[in-house]
Amino acid sequence: MTADHVLAHGLGGRADLPMPTWLALFAGVLVVLVSFFALAALWTEPKLRGTGAGTPLPAGLARVVDARATRVALRAVGVLLLAMLLATAWFGTDSSATNPAATWFYVWFWVALVPLSLALGPIWRQLSPLRTLAAALRAGLQVLPPLRDGGRWRRALPERVGYWPATIGLLAFLWLELVYAESDSPRAIAVFVTAYALVHVVAGAVFGRRWFDHGESFEVYFGLIAALSPFGRRGDGALVLRNPLDGLLTIERSHGLTPVVLVVLGSTAFDGLTRLPLWSDVTEGSSGVMLALLGTAGLAAAIIAISGIYTGGIWLTRPYLRRNADGQAFEPYSAFAHALVPIMIGYTVAHYFSFAVFQGQAGLLLASDPFGLGWNLFGMASATIDYTVVGTTTIAFVQVAGIVVGHILGVTSAHDRAIGVLRTNYVKVGQYPMLAVMVAYTATGIALVAGV
């Protein structure tokens, strides 16, 4: 594992916590428990309205957002950014110490789009160069003669496909980021991004826009995060300002969407696990294929463990579910999946905050000489990362707060849903299994951040 790779994943550990680990665990779990019992006492009717909620934005602002010129400009920016990333990744130096491609990809894209999506909504959907290139390819395919069977090149995406392409794509990306020993190599990034773009541009051209809604991993992931934005669209299409928890209810209730969230949650747990002395002991002396196999097994085990906790909670919730008009119990996996999204975001903040603050600076500094040719475009060729811009106490506060706030929002959203899907006399007791899931996730997240 290269020094650059260590830097890419060298987030804050135990030394960042300004309090004993046991106290952080106790405080985090206590806040989640108090929040639940306060909700159980005071929140007795469903309050969230989902697609029916929101105050329309001023007409002028809505026109600007929906204007064709705005859409074209954002798509042009997206294509330009993809071209810049691929150009530096393929033709710059093959070291993240001198090539900004790794920082642009892992920090400016994977991490920075999280707060942007929270603030602005589905921004990646608007920027996506893959949608733009797929639309261009689709236009080209339409002028081709019909296939031998008389059909056209365009196909409908089968319903049974669901979100599995997005889940598989996320697994591939997370394996590259967290397992592959040379994940910071610009050439490795170039190969991944090129292959990923080709697959989704062709699939998007064949299956249409629905492919990106269900199959494009990053659009699905950032779309889940964007659901928690205060800006969104009401059921009638109007742009509105809304309660972010109402936005969570707009997430499509699909069983296939739950694995997407669980994969991301499991990957952040594995990311924390790799910083523990235990993981160092397990991988000591390993390299090459053996190290990759151990990392793959560890990533799979973390995802399975996180998924098992959620599955267990849902299994224990089943006896308390109401019956629908057909006499069947509500499907609980998708019913509560949206409540995992704030937790997923909280884990992401906890694990990537210091990485984004420090390593994110390198993306700008290295941009002065993106191809390693001795340029100094922005006069920052000799500048270095400022590691004093944020102190360890602030980092620790953001890490713990991210996990705790994420779980409070998750508990709140799950409670509102539970009132509607649990039998009337079992609303409180029926939530205990999911409360146990939230407590387990809170404790695990804080323990991993603390480096226990």
Of 54, 420, 40, 36, nearest in space to 246 by CA: 54
Q: What is the mean pLDDT of residues 108-118?
A: 95
Q: Does residue 14 carry a pLDDT above 50?
A: no
Q: Is 208 left (phi over 0), alpha (psi -120 to 50) or beta?
A: left
- How far apart CA 355 and CA 353 sit, in angstroms, is 5
Q: Give me the phi and psi of 56, to 5 degrees please.
A: -55, 140
Average pLDDT of every residue of the chain: 87
Contact of 444 with 346, CB cutoff 8 Å: no
Q: Does residue 305 carry a pLDDT above 90?
A: yes
| More confident position, 116 or 23 | 116
- Sign for the CA dihedral angle at 438, 441, 447, 450 comes to negative
Of 193, 200, 198, nearest in space to 89 by CA: 193
Q: Does residue 84 carry a pLDDT above 90?
A: yes
When computed from its CA atoms, the radius of gyration of the chain, rounded to whole angstroms, is 23
Q: Is the pTM of this model over 0.85?
A: yes
- How far apart CA 16 and CA 139 sit, in angstroms, is 53
pLDDT at 147: 53
pLDDT at 3: 38
User: Which tokens hold the place of 53?
Assistant: 């909620």
User: CB 443: neighbour CB atoms within 10 A?
Assistant: 18
DSSP designation for 146: P
| More confident position, 6 or 60 | 60
pLDDT at 28: 84
User: Residue with structure tokens 């603030």?
Assistant: 119
Enclosing H/E stretch for 6: helix 3-8
Enclosing H/E stretch for 56: strand 55-56
Q: Does residue 6 carry a pLDDT above 50?
A: no
DSSP per position, 287-347: -HHHHHHHHHHHHHHHHHHHHHHHHHHHHHHGGGBPB-TTSPBP-HHHHHHTTHHHHHHHH
User: How does residue 323 score in pLDDT terms, banded at 50, 70 and 90?
Assistant: confident
DSSP designation for 184: T
Q: Does residue 5 carry a pLDDT above 50?
A: no
Beta strand 231-233 with 239-241 is antiparallel
Contact of 113 with 181, CB cutoff 8 Å: no
Of 355, 348, 449, 401, nearest in space to 17 by CA: 449
Contact of 357 with 399, CB cutoff 8 Å: no
Query: CA dist 296 to 20, 309, 447, Å?
Result: 32, 20, 22
Give the pLDDT confidence of 281-293 residue by residue, as tens digits. Answer: 888 888 889 999 9
User: How does residue 327 score in pLDDT terms, banded at 50, 70 and 90?
Assistant: low
Query: Angle between the 258-273 and 217-226 helix axes, to the nearest 10 degrees?
Result: 90
Separation of first and last alpha carbons in the chain: 23
Query: CA dist 311 to 235, 332, 441, Å?
Result: 31, 10, 13
Q: Give me the phi and psi of 240, to 5 degrees please.
A: -135, 160
DSSP per position, 367-419: GGSTTSSS--TTS-TT----TTSS-HHHHHHHHHHHHHHHHHHHHHHHHHHHH
Give the pLDDT confidence of 19-31 residue by residue, as tens digits. Answer: 577 777 888 888 8
User: Which tokens hold the place of 64?
Assistant: 């600007």
The type of residue at 20 is P
Enclosing H/E stretch for 285: none
The type of residue at 14 is R
Task: Report H helices in 150-256.
Answer: 164-178, 186-207, 209-214, 217-226, 244-248
User: CB 12: neighbour CB atoms within 10 A?
Assistant: 23
- How far apart CA 242 and CA 220 sit, in angstroms, is 21
User: How does residue 233 score in pLDDT terms, banded at 50, 70 and 90?
Assistant: very high
Give the pLDDT confidence of 365-382 residue by residue, as tens digits. Answer: 999 999 999 899 888 878
Most confident option among 100-104, 143-147, 354-358: 100-104
pLDDT at 141: 74
